[in-house]
Amino acid sequence: MDLRVREAQISDAEGIINIFNPIIKAGIYTAITKTISIDAEREFISKFNKRGIFHVAVDNSQQEIVGFQNVEPFGNDFTDAFDHVGVIGTFVSLSHRRQGIAKSLFQATFNACIDKGYEKIFAYVRADNQVALSTYLNQGFDIIGTARKHAKINGFYIDEIMIERFL
Ligand SMILES: CC(C)(COP(=O)(O)OP(=O)(O)OC[C@H]1O[C@@H](n2cnc3c(N)ncnc32)[C@H](O)[C@@H]1OP(=O)(O)O)[C@@H](O)C(=O)NCCC(=O)NCCS
Protein backbone atom coordinates (compact mmCIF):
# COMPACT_ATOMS: atom_id res chain seq x y z
CA MET A 1 0.00 0.00 0.00
CA ASP A 2 1.18 3.51 -0.83
CA LEU A 3 0.75 4.87 2.69
CA ARG A 4 1.33 8.39 3.95
CA VAL A 5 1.08 9.53 7.56
CA ARG A 6 0.30 13.21 8.07
CA GLU A 7 -1.32 15.56 10.55
CA ALA A 8 -5.12 15.42 10.70
CA GLN A 9 -7.08 18.32 9.22
CA ILE A 10 -10.68 19.38 9.82
CA SER A 11 -11.55 18.11 6.33
CA ASP A 12 -10.53 14.58 7.47
CA ALA A 13 -13.52 14.39 9.85
CA GLU A 14 -15.68 12.30 7.53
CA GLY A 15 -12.85 9.89 6.68
CA ILE A 16 -12.06 9.46 10.36
CA ILE A 17 -15.62 8.69 11.46
CA ASN A 18 -16.00 6.31 8.51
CA ILE A 19 -13.32 4.21 10.22
CA PHE A 20 -14.18 4.99 13.81
CA ASN A 21 -17.94 4.40 13.85
CA PRO A 22 -17.78 0.79 12.55
CA ILE A 23 -15.10 0.08 15.21
CA ILE A 24 -17.33 1.59 17.91
CA LYS A 25 -20.41 -0.28 16.63
CA ALA A 26 -18.53 -3.60 16.65
CA GLY A 27 -18.52 -3.23 20.45
CA ILE A 28 -15.45 -5.38 21.08
CA TYR A 29 -12.45 -3.08 20.66
CA THR A 30 -12.93 0.15 22.58
CA ALA A 31 -14.75 1.37 25.67
CA ILE A 32 -16.18 4.19 23.55
CA THR A 33 -19.84 3.27 23.08
CA LYS A 34 -21.37 6.27 21.31
CA THR A 35 -20.88 6.82 17.59
CA ILE A 36 -19.60 10.21 16.49
CA SER A 37 -21.22 12.68 14.10
CA ILE A 38 -19.24 14.48 11.43
CA ASP A 39 -19.86 17.82 13.15
CA ALA A 40 -18.65 16.48 16.49
CA GLU A 41 -15.50 15.12 14.84
CA ARG A 42 -14.88 18.45 13.07
CA GLU A 43 -15.16 20.22 16.41
CA PHE A 44 -12.89 17.65 18.08
CA ILE A 45 -10.18 18.22 15.46
CA SER A 46 -10.53 22.01 15.50
CA LYS A 47 -10.28 22.17 19.32
CA PHE A 48 -7.61 19.50 19.61
CA ASN A 49 -5.07 20.30 22.33
CA LYS A 50 -2.15 22.39 21.05
CA ARG A 51 0.31 19.95 22.65
CA GLY A 52 -1.61 17.01 21.23
CA ILE A 53 -0.63 14.92 18.22
CA PHE A 54 -3.24 13.77 15.74
CA HIS A 55 -2.10 11.70 12.78
CA VAL A 56 -4.02 10.08 9.95
CA ALA A 57 -2.73 7.31 7.67
CA VAL A 58 -3.83 7.83 4.08
CA ASP A 59 -3.87 5.21 1.31
CA ASN A 60 -2.54 7.48 -1.43
CA SER A 61 -3.80 5.35 -4.31
CA GLN A 62 -7.41 5.67 -3.10
CA GLN A 63 -7.03 9.01 -1.27
CA GLU A 64 -8.71 7.22 1.63
CA ILE A 65 -8.04 7.50 5.35
CA VAL A 66 -7.28 4.00 6.62
CA GLY A 67 -6.15 4.72 10.18
CA PHE A 68 -5.60 7.40 12.78
CA GLN A 69 -3.76 7.86 16.04
CA ASN A 70 -3.79 10.59 18.61
CA VAL A 71 -1.95 11.56 21.74
CA GLU A 72 -3.37 13.99 24.29
CA PRO A 73 -1.68 15.34 27.40
CA PHE A 74 -2.45 13.21 30.47
CA GLY A 75 -2.72 16.26 32.71
CA ASN A 76 -5.07 19.18 32.92
CA ASP A 77 -4.98 22.96 33.35
CA PHE A 78 -4.45 22.72 37.11
CA THR A 79 -1.08 20.96 37.14
CA ASP A 80 2.10 20.63 35.12
CA ALA A 81 3.08 17.43 36.95
CA PHE A 82 2.02 15.24 34.05
CA ASP A 83 3.25 17.39 31.18
CA HIS A 84 5.72 14.68 30.15
CA VAL A 85 2.97 12.03 29.80
CA GLY A 86 0.69 11.55 26.79
CA VAL A 87 -2.34 9.26 26.38
CA ILE A 88 -2.50 7.42 23.07
CA GLY A 89 -5.31 5.94 20.98
CA THR A 90 -4.90 3.97 17.73
CA PHE A 91 -7.55 2.93 15.22
CA VAL A 92 -7.18 1.19 11.86
CA SER A 93 -9.99 0.51 9.38
CA LEU A 94 -11.59 -2.91 9.88
CA SER A 95 -10.76 -3.81 6.27
CA HIS A 96 -7.09 -2.75 6.37
CA ARG A 97 -5.75 -4.61 9.37
CA ARG A 98 -2.35 -6.28 9.64
CA GLN A 99 -0.76 -4.34 6.82
CA GLY A 100 1.58 -2.26 8.98
CA ILE A 101 -0.67 0.82 9.18
CA ALA A 102 -0.49 1.03 12.98
CA LYS A 103 3.26 0.47 12.78
CA SER A 104 3.64 3.50 10.47
CA LEU A 105 1.43 5.62 12.71
CA PHE A 106 3.46 4.70 15.81
CA GLN A 107 6.71 5.66 14.13
CA ALA A 108 5.44 9.12 13.16
CA THR A 109 3.70 9.66 16.48
CA PHE A 110 6.66 8.67 18.66
CA ASN A 111 8.87 11.11 16.73
CA ALA A 112 6.31 13.89 17.12
CA CYS A 113 5.95 13.09 20.84
CA ILE A 114 9.69 13.47 21.39
CA ASP A 115 9.64 16.78 19.48
CA LYS A 116 6.82 18.04 21.73
CA GLY A 117 8.64 17.12 24.92
CA TYR A 118 6.76 14.01 25.96
CA GLU A 119 8.80 11.40 27.81
CA LYS A 120 6.22 8.71 28.27
CA ILE A 121 3.09 7.41 26.54
CA PHE A 122 0.26 5.76 28.44
CA ALA A 123 -2.93 3.96 27.46
CA TYR A 124 -5.78 1.85 28.73
CA VAL A 125 -6.63 -1.20 26.61
CA ARG A 126 -9.67 -3.41 27.13
CA ALA A 127 -8.50 -6.67 28.68
CA ASP A 128 -10.51 -8.62 26.10
CA ASN A 129 -8.75 -6.82 23.21
CA GLN A 130 -5.80 -9.15 22.73
CA VAL A 131 -5.00 -7.78 19.26
CA ALA A 132 -4.57 -4.24 20.54
CA LEU A 133 -2.47 -5.46 23.47
CA SER A 134 -0.22 -7.44 21.11
CA THR A 135 0.11 -4.39 18.87
CA TYR A 136 1.15 -2.09 21.72
CA LEU A 137 3.52 -4.65 23.27
CA ASN A 138 5.08 -5.07 19.81
CA GLN A 139 5.74 -1.31 19.87
CA GLY A 140 7.65 -1.49 23.16
CA PHE A 141 4.84 -0.83 25.64
CA ASP A 142 4.85 -2.68 28.97
CA ILE A 143 1.86 -3.78 31.00
CA ILE A 144 1.87 -1.96 34.34
CA GLY A 145 -1.40 -3.07 35.88
CA THR A 146 -5.06 -3.87 35.62
CA ALA A 147 -7.94 -1.61 36.52
CA ARG A 148 -10.53 -4.22 37.41
CA LYS A 149 -14.15 -3.91 36.33
CA HIS A 150 -13.19 -0.50 35.00
CA ALA A 151 -15.64 -0.42 32.10
CA LYS A 152 -19.27 -1.49 32.31
CA ILE A 153 -20.75 -2.01 28.88
CA ASN A 154 -24.27 -3.34 28.37
CA GLY A 155 -24.25 -4.49 32.00
CA PHE A 156 -20.99 -6.45 31.70
CA TYR A 157 -17.80 -5.42 33.48
CA ILE A 158 -14.54 -5.34 31.55
CA ASP A 159 -11.06 -4.92 33.03
CA GLU A 160 -8.76 -2.31 31.51
CA ILE A 161 -5.06 -3.06 31.13
CA MET A 162 -2.76 -0.10 31.78
CA ILE A 163 0.28 0.14 29.55
CA GLU A 164 3.16 2.58 29.20
CA ARG A 165 6.16 3.19 27.01
CA PHE A 166 9.07 5.48 27.71
CA LEU A 167 10.29 7.40 24.70
C1 LIG B 1 -4.83 -2.57 17.14
C2 LIG B 1 -4.81 -2.04 15.70
C3 LIG B 1 -4.65 -0.53 15.78
C4 LIG B 1 -3.62 -2.66 14.94
O5 LIG B 1 -3.54 -2.04 13.65
P6 LIG B 1 -2.83 -2.77 12.40
O7 LIG B 1 -2.59 -1.74 11.36
O8 LIG B 1 -3.63 -3.96 12.00
O9 LIG B 1 -1.43 -3.26 13.04
P10 LIG B 1 -0.07 -3.53 12.23
O11 LIG B 1 -0.39 -4.23 10.96
O12 LIG B 1 0.74 -2.29 12.15
O13 LIG B 1 0.62 -4.58 13.21
C14 LIG B 1 1.76 -4.24 13.99
C15 LIG B 1 2.08 -5.40 14.90
O16 LIG B 1 1.07 -5.52 15.93
C17 LIG B 1 0.82 -6.91 16.21
N18 LIG B 1 -0.51 -7.29 15.71
C19 LIG B 1 -1.35 -6.55 14.95
N20 LIG B 1 -2.49 -7.24 14.71
C21 LIG B 1 -2.35 -8.42 15.32
C22 LIG B 1 -3.18 -9.57 15.41
N23 LIG B 1 -4.38 -9.62 14.82
N24 LIG B 1 -2.74 -10.61 16.14
C25 LIG B 1 -1.53 -10.59 16.76
N26 LIG B 1 -0.69 -9.53 16.68
C27 LIG B 1 -1.10 -8.46 15.97
C28 LIG B 1 1.87 -7.69 15.43
O29 LIG B 1 3.01 -7.79 16.24
C30 LIG B 1 2.10 -6.76 14.22
O31 LIG B 1 3.35 -6.96 13.60
P32 LIG B 1 3.48 -8.08 12.46
O33 LIG B 1 2.30 -7.95 11.53
O34 LIG B 1 4.80 -7.75 11.81
O35 LIG B 1 3.47 -9.40 13.17
C36 LIG B 1 -6.12 -2.43 14.95
O37 LIG B 1 -6.31 -3.82 15.04
C38 LIG B 1 -7.33 -1.69 15.44
O39 LIG B 1 -7.64 -0.60 14.99
N40 LIG B 1 -8.08 -2.30 16.38
C41 LIG B 1 -9.31 -1.69 16.87
C42 LIG B 1 -9.09 -0.45 17.67
C43 LIG B 1 -8.26 -0.74 18.88
O44 LIG B 1 -8.37 -1.80 19.49
N45 LIG B 1 -7.42 0.22 19.25
C46 LIG B 1 -6.56 0.09 20.39
C47 LIG B 1 -7.20 0.67 21.59
S48 LIG B 1 -6.74 2.36 21.75
Q: What is the tens place of the pLDDT at every residue in 41-84?
A: 999 999 999 999 999 999 999 899 999 999 999 988 899 999 99
Q: What is the tens place of the pLDDT at every residue in 127-141?
A: 999 999 999 999 999
Q: Quote the ligand 1 centre to 91 CA distance (angstroms).
A: 9
The pocket around ligand 1, CB under 6 angstroms, is made up of 23, 29-30, 89-92, 97-103, 123, 125, 129, 131-132, 134-135, 138
Encode 120-143: b = buried (16+ Cβ within 10 Å), e = exposed.
Answer: ebbbbbbbebeebbebbeebebee
Would you say the pTM of this structure is higher than 0.95?
yes
Q: Give the contacts of 25 (CB within 8 A, at least 6 positions apart).
A: 35
CA distances from 6 to 3, 106, 142, 161 (A): 10, 12, 27, 29
Question: Which domains are present in the chain?
Answer: 3-166 (3.40.630.30)
